[in-house]
Amino acid sequence: MGKTSYYLEVTEAAKNYIELNIKNGITSEETAKFSNYSLKQLNRIFYLVTGLTVCEFIRWKKLTEALFELKYNDELIINIAYKYGYESHEAFTRAFKDNFSVTPGEYKKTKKEITAKNWHINQFIHKTAHDFLNKNYHKRENVESWIITKPDRIWVSLRRNIENIHPAKFYDLCGMEGIMDKADQIPNVLMAGGAYLPGYNDDSRVCFGVEVDENYPMELINEFEIYNIPQCKYIVFNCPSYPIENHGDVIYSTWYAQKDFDIEANGLKWAMDKAPIFEDDSPESTGYTLWFPVTEK
């Protein structure tokens, strides 16, 4: 195992331990002990992977979990504060306002979309929305569906999920490794996002890449894995643009819309072994979209 994979494994294990114990007053020292490292050693590994110390991760994880408790639970603010290790209402209010520019009471009353002062904590809001809502709430969002036919295309795979980690964490990893920046540098792409390629290689896990026209200049993409995707019919499931804190419900709703879809009534059958499943997440523009391949019955 290379150092990169090992560091990722150690960090993921530490993060999972923190997330399981976030309501038990977890500390960075306890996390280091669990990881069989000194805190100094674990911090060095953790920082390389996440850009954060273990203590920072715990602090911001508590704040973002508390944020969603305020939004979706009817508990008293003081109970939420105690649940996440704050010694008093005042300490929780001070930490919350320092990061979100509003008090917990103001947020609980308005529940408006919120932006943190710190870039990292905004990433936590995004990830915690997915994790927290999928664990605790499943409010169905409105998902639209329609049928299209895509002509011959090329899928350019910039990175495959060889670690077999959760797709949300895989996309975070692509961002950290600069893969998404590489995608931005490829001109005239039709879509950038994820694809599941069960009919095209032995690894059906998600990959991150871009879709381009069938006549795209090969010299611009020949450093990557290339898949020729023939013309295919797709059912598109789309949850329109949404506030980031609804991320978990949006993902849940869109995938379940596919499961609920009465494909036989439309004279179709799924063709996941013939063409890729595509996904794109653009909260502020087109929302979250899935493309599932189908054929005529």
Domains and their CATH numbers in the chain: 3-131 (1.10.10.60), 144-296 (3.20.80.10)
| Mean pLDDT (whole number) for 171-179 | 90
- Residue 156 parent element (H or E): strand 153-160
What pLDDT sits at residue 56?
A: 87
- The rounded percent of the chain whose pLDDT value lies above 70 is 88
What pLDDT sits at residue 294?
A: 95
| Mean pLDDT (whole number) for 64-74 | 82
CB 187 within 8 A of CB 180: no
| Mean pLDDT (whole number) for 217-222 | 94
What pLDDT sits at residue 237?
A: 94
CB 54 within 8 A of CB 39: yes
Residue the block writes with tokens 């105690």: 82
pLDDT at 138 over 70: no
What pLDDT sits at residue 131?
A: 61
What pLDDT sits at residue 165?
A: 82
Q: Residue 165 has what DSSP assignment? A: -
Phi, psi dihedrals of residue 144, rounded to the nearest 5°? -100, 155
Long-range contacts of 122-125 (CB under 8 A, 24+ apart): 123/172, 124/60, 124/61, 124/63, 124/64, 125/64, 125/67, 125/244, 125/245
Using pLDDT thresholds of 50, 70 and 90, give the confidence band for residue 229. Answer: very high
Average pLDDT across the chain, whole number:
85
| Mean pLDDT (whole number) for 181-206 | 86
* Distance, CA of 250 to CA of 70 (rounded, Å): 19
CB 278 within 8 A of CB 191: yes
Check residues 141 and 238 and name the one with the higher pLDDT. 238
pLDDT at 160 over 80: yes
What pLDDT sits at residue 128?
A: 63
